[in-house]
Amino acid sequence: MNEFEYRDGVLHCEGVALQSAADRFGTPLYVYSRSALVGSFQRLSAAFQKLQPRICFSIKSCHNLHVLRVLRKEGAWFDAVSIGEVRRALEAGAAAETIVFAGVGKTPEELALAVRLDVGCINIESEGELAALAELAARADKTIRAAVRINPDVDAITHPYTTTGKSENKFGVSFEAAREMLLVYTGHDHVRLSGLHVHIGSPVRTVAPYMEAINRLLAFIEEVRAAGAVIDAIDIGGGFPAAGDEQAPAIEEYASAVAPLLEGRALAVHLEPGRSIAADAGVLLAKALYVKQGATKRFVVVDAAMTELIRPALYRAEHFVWPVTPGADLVPENRLAGARLPQTVRVDVVGPVCESGDFLARDRWLPPVDPGDLLAVFSAGAYGAVMSSQYNSRPRAAEVLVSGEEAHLIRRRETYDDLVAAERDADR
């Protein structure tokens, strides 16, 4: 089922007409579909079923407590990259042992709290961090499970800013450093370093880089096991594309390439998907404010901006944008077919922020848009709200979760008082 679909020329999310959601909650507005979140989680679980993986939802992609709760009920574990994210997972009802705490720069305070909370695993990214963890765990007289993140020097062929597994990237440690760490810590009283972790980029639009990275890790595991290290888990990260990404294979293709490599290796398998679960489960609704003809371009100025979705500005990411009520004859069969519909006009969809990089879509063929019309920016469920900012003193937008015929507010719109609260507190 496609949870975001046009019925009689009107965009719906499940049983809710999005025009009515915008009328009720205002714009800009993020709208998520519960059924799409659950569906993409289940599809991913089914695809990788042979490996019986722990699916650790990458909180950074969509951290709303209510979204986390939906996924926890489906059996998700969680990938957290700050104590803030660990606390979100706990508040959403996750058991501490289902939380993997990762990140290249965990502070001593964060590590200490993670030890106190007994998180399930800490992914280590440097020798210094491992030594700090060992000391904290000894002081607390605990034994903490940890994995070492390897930088496999594999090119994920994605945007340079979201490539994470090449040797020039800041993430993980080399195989040489990992070997040293594993051998030194084998049998350690307070750190059980028995997992390997790799995350090569996001989105990774071909299967081959995963296979390359995993094959390198497997060869390494054989070698260190022979030298006495105990390795019982492998975390292959996230990076799988959104289901609607026409430039990428389906999740099943990733799974069927990866599963045979990992089966029968006596390794528990962890995945850390974010985008593939959340991206297509959300849209951003924006209202057109003005339409103006510039010297060379036509601009649709809307009330959402780079503050609500920074991906076009930051990565030149292309999000499909279409009116919410275009009428039945102006609904494209698919995202690519939109431009071929009659009456479409080439426009830039831009926000109110004072930067030329503030665009949501450029050079797109859209049906004629009038002030007051609503536009939907698709695939905004991941890395949308979580990367939002208050730049230009714009209060953050509201978030809504649709479940069947019902739309629930899951984050209220910020107010002017929210914008200045921390500054007023500082005056006291």
203: contact with ligand LLP by CB under 6 A: yes
Element housing 376 (H / E) = strand 374-377
**Shortest Cβ 118–ligand LLP spacing (Å):** 21
Query: Shortest distance, CB of residue 419 to ligand LLP, whole angstroms?
Result: 24
The residue among 238 and 338 lying less far from ligand LLP, judged by its C-beta, is: 238
**Binding to ligand LLP, residues 19-48 (CB under 6 A):** none
CA quadruple 14, 16, 19, 20: dihedral, nearest 10:
-160
Kindly state whether residue 379 participates in binding ligand LLP, applying the rule CB under 6 A: no
Q: Which stretch binds ligand LLP (CB under 6 A): 68-76, 232-240, 293-301, 366-374?
A: 232-240
Which region, judged by CB under 6 A, interacts with ligand LLP, from 87-95, 181-189, 268-276, 408-416?
A: 268-276
Q: Could you tell me the two tokens for 285? A: 């609704």
| Residues forming the active site | 354
Cα 166 to Cα 201: distance, rounded to the nearest angstrom: 9
Tokens matching residue 344: 């479409």
Q: Does 147 bind ligand LLP (CB under 6 A)?
A: no
Q: In residues, how long is the chain?
A: 428
* Residue 79 within binding range of ligand LLP, rule CB under 6 A: yes
CA atoms within 13 A on the CB side of 401: 18
- Taking residue 4's Cβ as centre, other Cβ atoms within 10 Å add up to 21
Q: Measured between alpha carbons, how far is 416 from 394 in angstroms, rounded to an integer?
A: 8
- Which of 165, 239, 312, 332 binds ligand LLP (CB under 6 A)? It is 239
Which member of 33, 40, 58, 194 binds ligand LLP (CB under 6 A)? 58
DSSP string, 15-67: TEEHHHHHHHH-SSEEEEEHHHHHHHHHHHHHHTGGG--EEEEEGGG---HHH
Does the protein bind ligand LLP through residue 394 (CB under 6 A)?
A: no
Interface with ligand LLP, residue 102, by CB under 6 A = yes
Chain contacts with ligand LLP (rule: CB under 6 A):
58, 61, 79, 102, 162, 164, 199, 202-203, 237-240, 272-276, 311, 315, 382-383
